[in-house]
């Protein structure tokens, strides 16, 4: 079994933080909340019960990525002021 790996979004955030340490790093469109019925959906964190065309892709994504861990990590970066959520 392959280990879980970061999504391209988290890799991009890490790249920005490393490459531009003195710059403000802004993120947009990444769902970071634990639970929010009014949340804007993102293709990474959509509901498993979605019946749209992305459902198979979403299930596959969750197989290779720990999305809850990624959300927690992004929330930590926001709380620490390392990234700014628009």
**Residue 38: what pLDDT?**
43
DSSP secondary structure letter of residue 83: S
- The DSSP symbol for 42 reads -
Window from 14-18, 57-61, 73-77 with minimum mean pLDDT? 57-61
- The closest of 58, 24, 63 to 44, measured between CA atoms, is 58
pLDDT tens per residue, range 1-56:
556 788 888 899 999 999 999 999 999 887 777 655 444 444 544 555 555 555 55
What is the pTM assigned to this prediction? 0.69
């Amino acid at each position: 079994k392959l280990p879980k790996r970061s999504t391209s979004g988290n890799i991009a955030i890490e790249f920005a933080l490393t490459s531009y340490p003195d710059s403000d790093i802004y993120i947009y469109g990444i769902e970071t909340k634990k639970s929010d019925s009014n949340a804007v959906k993102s293709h990474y964190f959509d509901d498993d019960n979605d019946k749209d065309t992305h459902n198979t892709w979403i299930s596959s994504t969750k197989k290779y990525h720990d999305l809850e861990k990624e959300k927690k990590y992004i929330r930590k970066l926001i709380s620490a002021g390392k990234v700014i959520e628009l």
